[in-house]
Amino acid sequence: MIAGYITATTTDLARVKIHNGRPQLYSQARYVNRDFSNFGSILSLYLRNAKGRMDVLCLGVAGPVINNRVSATNIPWQIDGPEIEKEYELDRVAVVNDIYATAFGLFQLSDEKFFTINKGKQVEYGNMGLIAAGHGLGEALIYFDGERYCPYASEGGHVDFAPGNQLETELWEYLYSGQGYVETEDVVSLAGLESTFEFMLAANRATKPDWMKKAKDRPAKIIEKALAGSDDIAVKAFDMFVDCYASEAANLALKGMTVGGIFLGGLIAPQIMTVLDKGRFMERFVKKGKMGSLLADMPVGLIIEDRTALLGAASIAMEMVSE
């Protein structure tokens, strides 16, 4: 069995074995996507280096998966499950949404792989939600069918961005003027953080700082400056980002009635864990009028395992073998 996870920048592949009924990863390899023209080039290289026959492959990919195929959202790759099966003589290939895979991975994590933002009052077998901000914004919901938890993917990160105050309305106008629409992902993502910083520069009639001009990874630098409190504009942009992240997490919680809990994944949340713990996130999370008390009782946790999606893909691959 092979598990894979394709992001905007990297592809992770690992072999899977079953130990005590759980998937275990080994022979893990990471590839930088820009070094390859397509996924097939990566898979060919991995299979050449791996030992033993591979029969099943499960890939988690950012994008809407239809009929076991996906056009990746943030890279110009087409991932076609049936074609991969045929070309590499595999028994089965499953292409799934990356957040769907992450949702499966939740159930493979031990308690220490979660950081509690809000303990709340968890309802047994209640619906759960997963929101993950990184290069994009992924969302999924998880329900209990009477026997097991069942995740299902969405493209909720691409819904309209809803401002929560006057300043966020001005951010909406700033982004709308440039592209004619504003998705939540345009704000709650790494690129969204950079856009928010640029908006704050304009709103404060400030010039772009030298550190921003020199930065190779501008969103990471904004986070660094904001956490250190060394740049006022970075702090303001970051505070708005946290508020908008919390607001969208609450939107997902209400739509899914996630009394079992909301979980934050993705690249950004673990980097800003200390900030999320200081109360700003929950203050905005519960700011939903009549539903504030309901949201205050919902557990909110942060995933601190960066292999969650890969473990989820491994869990799906394991089920494929046992079917």
pLDDT tens-digit map of 225-267: 999 999 999 999 999 999 999 999 999 999 999 999 999 999 9
Does the structure show a pLDDT above 90 at 73?
no
Rg (C-alpha) for the chain, rounded Å, is 20
What mean pLDDT do residues 60-70 have? 93
Does the structure show a pLDDT above 80 at 197?
yes
Q: Which of 85, 95, 93, 98 is nearest to 137 (CA)?
A: 98
Indicate the average pLDDT of the chain: 93
Torsion sign (Cα): 276, 196, 61, 67: positive
Q: How far apart are CA 24 and CA 21, in angstroms?
A: 10
Q: How far apart are CA 320 and CA 314, in angstroms?
A: 10
Read off the pTM: 0.92
User: In order of start, what are the domains of the chain with their CATH numbers?
Assistant: 2-104+307-322 (3.30.420.40), 110-304 (3.40.367.20)
Torsion sign (Cα): 307, 251, 285, 135: positive
Find where tokens 């998966």 sit.
65
What mean pLDDT do residues 68-87 have? 92
Tokens of 217: 């990874």
Torsion sign (Cα): 300, 305, 308, 311: negative
SS3 per residue for 171-214: HHHHHHHHHCCCEHHHCCCHHHHHHHHHHHHHHCCCCCCHHHHH
